[in-house]
């Protein structure tokens, strides 16, 4: 994967895999910021990569995210 990415640019981002759920949060507003409901991302391919995010129509987005009350 790194060799493939280096074919597009000399700078790449490499992140360590962390097992668990993919959760995203959005905050809107400046003077009175507000947190929108958390979204759980469930890609069908197993990884939420560029293809799953922008190309494949088969990534599920679950709102609100399925989290325990301790985490949420």
pLDDT tens, residue order, the chain (72 aa): 889 999 999 999 998 988 889 999 999 999 999 999 999 999 988 788 888 888 877 899 999 999 988 887
Q: Which domain, by its residues, includes 45?
A: 22-72
Residue 50 in any domain: the answer is yes
Residue 5 in any domain: the answer is no
Q: Is 6 exposed, middle or buried (0-12, 13-18, 19+ CB in 10 A)?
A: exposed
- Say if pTM beats, i.e. exceeds, 0.85: no
Domain count, the chain: 1
pLDDT for 1: 82
User: 3-state class of 2 per DSSP?
Assistant: helix
Residue 17 in any domain: the answer is no
Residue 69 in any domain: the answer is yes
Residue 53 in any domain: the answer is yes
Residue 8 in any domain: the answer is no
């Amino acid at each position: 994967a790194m060799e493939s990415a280096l074919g597009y640019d000399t700078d790449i981002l490499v992140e360590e895999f962390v097992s668990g759920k993919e959760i995203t949060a959005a905050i809107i507003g400046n003077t009175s910021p507000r947190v929108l409901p958390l979204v759980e991302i469930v890609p069908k391919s197993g990884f939420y990569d560029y293809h799953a995010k922008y190309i494949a129509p088969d990534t599920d987005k679950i709102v609100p995210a399925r989290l325990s009350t301790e985490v949420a």
